Chain A
């Protein structure tokens, strides 16, 4: 112990007690809560069995009181630039040797500097990035002791504090990455075996500023491509730069590797390099950070060179793809991607969505399907769902890019008006199909896709009926048929992929399809989902194209069965869509049957579908279908079915 503030220690003690008491109150009998409860128990025990006793030991011993008004005794009263200079000197003096006493002293000294902005500025102005890297390498090679781990944590926290506070000198992070790559290619394997994990460790702590992440990822791409060119290797193998090149003996870097939890490493075993590579390949730690910083992701992934490299140019599947998809989701469909966001942000989000789909789909889609963690399906569904209008436009106007590129276009769709509203992503038809397969391959992703598609279908029906009611179309019944048919095209595309990959879901194919259409019908009762407002017409743009090849293959095998199946699925889709459109026609008073019974109404509005009996549901649809509305509008359910079959014919026709 080198110093403490008695008054703050008292508060610390009270806070630790409060945390332990609060966590002890965590209760839930649901089996799904077990991991969370295990964690709350673990944290509570750490507080009770380690933190509180440590506080008690220290406050009980006056001999340990060494706090000085100008700072802890270890700094010798230094502060500001003098302190920063002192720390830089001592780190440099370590050279390439670190003993236990050095580790302890440095672990005490660095936090003092981390709390002093002027000291931080001086420290990083004087400490060459290479010296910082050498320090982390020394820590990694040091026996895995409490002192070494404490020094590692202190070094990283100081690095993060400098990045957040006074800021690192220009080019500091890029130099750090470049120096790391140089060491990784040095002769001998003792130091270079630790370079990957050393850099990963620095990026694996608290959140770094966006600018640091952008600089780091850009530099990482540059050094990896340089190395690949030098070795005449495929860029997809650049991760080998960070792997030890001798099977045995490989020096242990457990002091740093232990920072990546056992759980994190265990999750990654599906990939041949997974548990080895994730802590050693710095890209994963950076992607982890990007998963919490959508702005940094947009800054990076709107650069075609970076986006094509990260999404489709290098291996990012050692963790099953969880980090790269989370980073893409944060940038393309994160919490800040909302309708009220600035137009520039929404356009960038659309570009990232296009880039992710068009690059990731063809390169990684099929491989990722083999071991897709649930969170990957959820992230991909978040991207596609929030850009559903782009998906829809992609089906209506299919395109194919060879080679893959990211593309955006003005978003214009007739139900919403005759002029463009914002920017949409353009998805390559084949890439979209591959990424859609990923999204719907797990229940979590399927549910997200359904919820967001419901919102979109509701929005289209609402806007289209509004325009019909205003008399915007000279042939309203034809417009209605077209819009419903186009809505059916989207449903047909999605359900086709669901049926094809139902074996990945915790349900049979029929159940999966029933779920899909039943949930669409349900949307007629609950127009506002929990996702309300998470995407806007500005970001919701058109996308790439439908991807029917796999469906075609399925139906090519047995054309008669295929036709029968198409009939059945078109009918199910028609029923579900009828519910959505009937509600809109009635609610906007375009079609109002004279004899609508009171029991199906509440304050003049149709009751939620769930509240109606089956007979009443049928009655409502039949009444609306048999009533000529304003502007001579007539909803013909058979027309909906016919339109759906017509639209889906493109998928079901083996010759197409």
Chain B
């Protein structure tokens, strides 16, 4: 169980970033991209908007990945903070 208050805060931050990543992933942009293609409309403007949506889809995926990476890092920091607190609390060297 986490005992260090810093670790708890880091885990809270990680959880909030993971929630946002899940929300971003839940954007129904795949379907939007599918319906925004030439089967639906054909024009230079439509083509441009379709291409931009494809790029946005990629960016959103990367953003969600980045958020999870950041969350993972924070969790690692939390683990480290917990371990540091435990060692600091130990008044006698183990070995």
Contacts and interface: CB of A to CB of B under 8 A. Distances in A.
B59 A43 contact: yes
A99 interface: no
Contacts of B48: 146, 149-150, 153
Contacts, number: 221
Interface string A27-41: 111101101110110
A522 B66 contact: no
B94 to A, nearest CB: 5
Given A22-B26, A518-B84, A5 B94 contact: no
Interface stretch (A13-21, A175-183, A409-417): A13-21
B73 A447 contact: yes
Chain B interface: which size bin? Answer: 35 or more
B80 to A, nearest CB: 5
Contact of A36 (B2, B53, B63, B92): B63
Nearest to B35: A12
Nearest to A110: B47
Contacts of A23: 27
Nearest to B29: A19
B5 interface: no
Describe A's contact surface by its main secondary structure.
helix
A74 interface: yes
A564 interface: no
Contacts of B77: 447
A521 B92 CA distance: 16
Contacts of A2: 42-43
Contacts of B35: 8, 11-12, 15
Interface stretch (A135-143, A164-172, A588-596, A612-620): A612-620
Interface of A: 1-5, 8-9, 11-12, 15-16, 18-19, 22-23, 25-30, 32-33, 35-37, 39-40, 42-43, 46-47, 50-51, 54, 58, 72, 74, 103-104, 107-108, 111-112, 114-115, 146-147, 149-151, 153-154, 157, 205-206, 378, 443-444, 447, 450-451, 514-515, 518-519, 521-522, 526, 530, 571, 574-575, 578, 608-611, 613-615, 617-618, 621-622, 637-638, 640-641
19 contacts: A8-B40, A9-B40, A15-B28, A19-B28, A22-B26, A26-B24, A32-B70, A36-B21, A39-B60, A40-B24, A50-B52, A114-B38, A157-B50, A206-B54, A518-B83, A522-B79, A610-B82, A611-B1, A615-B90
